[in-house]
Structure 1
Amino acid sequence: MNQEAPRARPDRAGTSGVRTGEHVNYVDLVLERLSTDDEREALIGGDTRLTRAQARDLLLRLADGLARRGIGPGDGVAAFVGNTPEAVLLVVAVHLLGARLVYVPPEPGTNELKALIERAEVKGVVVDPAFSDRLGGWDLRDLPGDPVVRTPEPTFTTVMYTGGTTGLPKLAVHHSNRRWEAFRAMPPMSVLCTTLITHGSGAAACQMALTTGSKLVLGPSVFDAGTFCRLAREEGITSTVFVPPMMYEVLDHPDRPGPQFGSVIVGGSALAPRRLREAIEAWGPVVHQTYGMTEALSITSMPATSVDFDRPDTTRTVGKANPVLEVETRDGDVWVRGPFVMQGYWGEPTLAETAGGWFNTGDMGYFDDEGYLYLNDRSKDVIVTGRTSDNVYSRLLDDFLVTLPGIRQAAAVARPDEALGEAVHVFLVAEGPDVDVDRIRASVVAELGELYQPRGVTVVPELPLTAVGKVDKRKLRSLFR
């Protein structure tokens, strides 16, 4: 795997490698941004600060290092890296060569990681030992070669692992370059990336920053609310992307930033209406909710300007469908088709072959008469309980519980029950040590009905999260096995 291939020739068509015409993709735009205003800061992470000129130079050297190792169009490159400027530029370098980038998540164990990489059929693995030493491969620090200018290949592929909350992660294959087109018209910002760059929201934040010519500041690979607050203040951050639990931690932090943001995007899981109100009150009408997933990006959006707290329904909707996508419900399930939807899972038939391009999100929901989408629950999180086996939508219960005094976070899951099949059990994060369980049960029954009454209540200091920052209900359910 370490044998060097013949070096690629520099591009003689120009000095920047930037191409114009119908085959322009986001890599062309990144190179264009990095080829102007050389001394403007582009990438900041830890103790590293790169100007545009330095970032472009490193990007080209990383591409050369990959080319020396035999990477070309269509070859697979796995990235097992943390949040560093070098890792961000590695992603672009792989795409510059027209290769297939495989994002590797950190959450599986070492043996499972190796099995997943083998299944991805890659030609090489780039690792950052400072992030993790669990895998062998090409050391990211040793990868750069010479700053060889290349015209980007017209096509590339990105493979992303799913969050893995239902078992072994799968590999979602994306080919579309259309996402960057929405970023192209946006003005430069100061963007703070809060999640891992190898996950959906982090990857989107990086691509948005690079294609708009923004300053990109990378938070640590493991999220810390205090660090976020400090970086937001010191770096003059104007835009960021959260998953809800991270946003909650920032809202609860004594040094949380004030109304300095022009855009706060929140996605990845359901957002509690009470916390949405807190965010808008803290930062203004700049909080945009988005609904999407690894397999289908940017399905809907709901801007804060459309939220009316006198109409509670506007705090529960995930917004209207992305105009470039088709979104519909079938028997309560949300289906989607279009350019932001994966082609399929690696090694399996494509969606075009099996479902006419349509993807079943696994979410249950409905549209109102104005075209707003409401999500009831993830299908796997519905609790089937009672003498007539009725559905309890755990998200609805979660959202209500955090409206009660003293409750900061809540997660309702199914607990096996001989009489009911499944019983409602809730895990609560409370503000203080005293939790009146009887009052909570009575409030739930009064608001949602007897079916939603928690049969069990557990108070915990914090809820378990997946590596992408979602509440790990699978782990909570496993406590009852």
Structure 2
Amino acid sequence: MTYVDLVLNRLATGQEREAVIGGDTRLTRGQARDLVFRLADGLARRGIGRGDGVAVFIGNTPEALLLTVAVHLLGARLVYVPPEPGQRELAALIEKAEVAAVVVDPGFSTRLTGWDLAELPGDPVERTPAPDFTTVSYTGGTTGLPKLAVHGPRSTSRWEALSHTPSLTMLCSTLITHGSGAGASVGALVTGSKLVLGPSVFDADVFVRLARDEQVNATFFVPPMMYEVLDHPDCPGPQFLSIGLGGSPLAPERLRQAVERWGPVVYQGYGMTEAMAIAFMPATAVDLAKPHTLRTVGKPNPEMEVEVRDGDVWVRGPHVMRGYWGEPPLSETSDGWLNTGDVGHFDEDGYLYLDDRSKDVIVTGRTSDNVYSRLLDDFLVTLPGIRQAAAVAAPDERWGEAVHLFVVVEDGHELDLHEVEQAVVAELGDLYAPRGVTVVPRLPLTQVGKVDKRRLRALLR
């Protein structure tokens, strides 16, 4: 049994209850189930069957979400096409993925051509879900070439356990083609929760409105999205029963603010495109009186093996990808182990801490030491007047790289670089001293809501 079986079974009950809402579309469970079968029929009529690749270039709409379920229903290979790459990289991604078809939602983007999602539905032909399928997701690499992580059906035990949890009203603000958005939206379908899809590009004003109008009591954020909501003049009060966080580093001070605002309902999940569900920090384990509980990403998932080797976090288990499309599987190249690219450590109680991304470490100083940019990001937002911050490497003739800060400050606050430097040195040492600072109205984000440090570094070249 896969999640597709659980979703269809759930949608077959209480068919008049609302299931998926997005924009002007509101679908009941019965309508959603009917549309899954109609979309699957439209794909099948066009020759799509088991193992065939279907690339989807879609945004956050009910039809798009149900399309992903329909692809898996047929046992096909679902290929998520992200919005970030340029035209040339998109073409390279599609070619490398070796797909039989591309489905596009012109309302989301016209940069790709293919089958129009609106014209795809056929007849509501009921089908028994295929027992196996694959999902292929783009992951940005340092080479500029697309890399495609391949996952099979995730362990059924997780979905079956989730199917017994209470129904909620879930607001999904991250893209459904991103790991966090896909997980949150599928989780809502499996639990029978009412799913409210936010726009494809996050908007804090829209989030606040939807949270109020739809009486939302659960959501999932990439941290920068949460910061915008916390700073919003109409930030919702303690109406939530569950708030998930993941997808990018989380500043402990902002986590503290979230718990103070919404109560003990905020949890963290640590995962990535290549390896999902690595570790979990439940809301009940976060203690504002114990600062270390605000910094850890929790303890490893019991289904996963997690090791720290020479500072790097390695993982193996059922939630790790099979490998990259077109390359040998991990089972052959590394006995199933994956280097996450994160730098981290365990404490004596078994909690995992992430110090930085390997690619974001700043190598500087007379002895070329490592500056962990995340430690600096987290500390800066504790200083008066600084709302968001990102430390990146700037080219430096003497040291190779130097610490440069991009910061968002409160209205009316004048930043004193000397005072910031003194505070940083006092807390983290001379190595972390910033050599430059740029005040910006907002930090650039990727389409999935992460701070785009690559773009920030490019501004300094």
Given the two structures, how large is their TM-score scaled by the length of structure 1?
A: 0.94
Partner of 1:134, secondary structure, is: coil
Which amino acid is 1:449 matched to?
G
| Residue aligning to 1:479 | 459
Which amino acid is 1:332 matched to?
G
Query: Aligned pair in 2 of structure 1 residues 334, 471: CA closer, same or farther (>3 Å)?
Result: same
Alignment of 1:402-417 (within 5 A): 402-417=381-396
Deviation at 1:165, TM superposition (A): 7.1
2:257 pairs with 269, 278, 291, which one?
278
Deviation at 1:25, TM superposition (A): 1.1
CA contact (8 A) 1:180 1:207 kept: no
Number of positions where the alignment pairs a residue of Structure 1 with one of Structure 2: 458
* CA deviation string 1:27-82 (max 9, x = no partner): 11111111111110011000000111111111110000000000000000001011
1:434 pairs with 414, 421, 428, which one?
414
**TM-align CA RMSD:** 1.1
Alignment of 1:139-178 (within 5 A): 139-163=116-140, 167-178=144-155
* CA deviation string 1:79-133 (max 9, x = no partner): 1011110001000000000000000001112232122111100000000011111
2:318 pairs with 315, 339, 349, which one?
339
Deviation at 1:303, TM superposition (A): 2.0
CA contact (8 A) 2:89 2:146 kept: no
Q: Establish whether residue 318 from structure 1 lines up as the match of residue 297 from structure 2.
A: yes
Query: Aligned pair in 2 of structure 1 residues 454, 408: CA closer, same or farther (>3 Å)?
Result: same
Which amino acid is 2:417 matched to?
V
Distance of 2:409 and 2:47 partners within structure 1: 55
Distance of 1:307 and 1:289 partners within structure 2: 10
Deviation at 1:164, TM superposition (A): 5.3
Q: Establish whether residue 223 from structure 1 lines up as the match of residue 202 from structure 2.
A: yes
Which amino acid is 1:282 matched to?
R
Partner of 1:422, secondary structure, is: strand
Partner of 2:299, secondary structure, is: strand
Q: Establish whether residue 262 from structure 1 lines up as the match of residue 244 from structure 2.
A: no
Q: Establish whether residue 232 from structure 1 lines up as the match of residue 211 from structure 2.
A: yes
Q: Give the unaligned 5+ runs of structure 1.
A: 1-23
| Residue aligning to 2:85 | 108
CA contact (8 A) 1:195 1:242 kept: yes
Query: Aligned pair in 2 of structure 1 residues 166, 238: CA closer, same or farther (>3 Å)?
Result: farther
Distance of 2:161 and 2:174 partners within structure 1: 21
| Residue aligning to 1:7 | none
Distance of 1:423 and 1:177 partners within structure 2: 42
Q: Give the unaligned 5+ runs of structure 2.
A: none
Distance of 2:210 and 2:141 partners within structure 1: 30
Deviation at 1:167, TM superposition (A): 3.3
* CA deviation string 1:416-457 (max 9, x = no partner): 111111111111111135111110001011111111100111
Distance of 2:55 and 2:161 partners within structure 1: 27
CA contact (8 A) 1:318 1:373 kept: yes
| Residue aligning to 1:384 | 363
1:126 pairs with 90, 103, 121, which one?
103
Query: Aligned pair in 2 of structure 1 residues 165, 428: CA closer, same or farther (>3 Å)?
Result: farther
Distance of 2:160 and 2:312 partners within structure 1: 29
Distance of 1:220 and 1:91 partners within structure 2: 18
1:48 pairs with 22, 25, 30, which one?
25
Which amino acid is 1:47 matched to?
D
CA contact (8 A) 2:2 2:153 kept: no
CA contact (8 A) 1:163 1:294 kept: no
Deviation at 1:147, TM superposition (A): 0.4
| Residue aligning to 1:11 | none
CA contact (8 A) 2:264 2:283 kept: yes
Segment of structure 1 superposing worse, 105-114 or 60-69 = 105-114
| Residue aligning to 1:463 | 443
Partner of 1:360, secondary structure, is: strand
Distance of 1:433 and 1:283 partners within structure 2: 27
Distance of 2:154 and 2:290 partners within structure 1: 38
1:359 pairs with 331, 334, 338, which one?
338
CA contact (8 A) 2:174 2:221 kept: yes
Which amino acid is 1:443 matched to?
A
Given the two structures, how large is their TM-score scaled by the length of structure 2?
A: 0.98
* CA deviation string 1:199-219 (max 9, x = no partner): 111100111011111111100
* CA deviation string 1:322-375 (max 9, x = no partner): 110000100100000001100000000111010000000000111011000011
Distance of 1:326 and 1:215 partners within structure 2: 34
Q: Establish whether residue 297 from structure 1 lines up as the match of residue 276 from structure 2.
A: yes
Which amino acid is 2:228 matched to?
E
1:186 pairs with 144, 160, 165, which one?
165
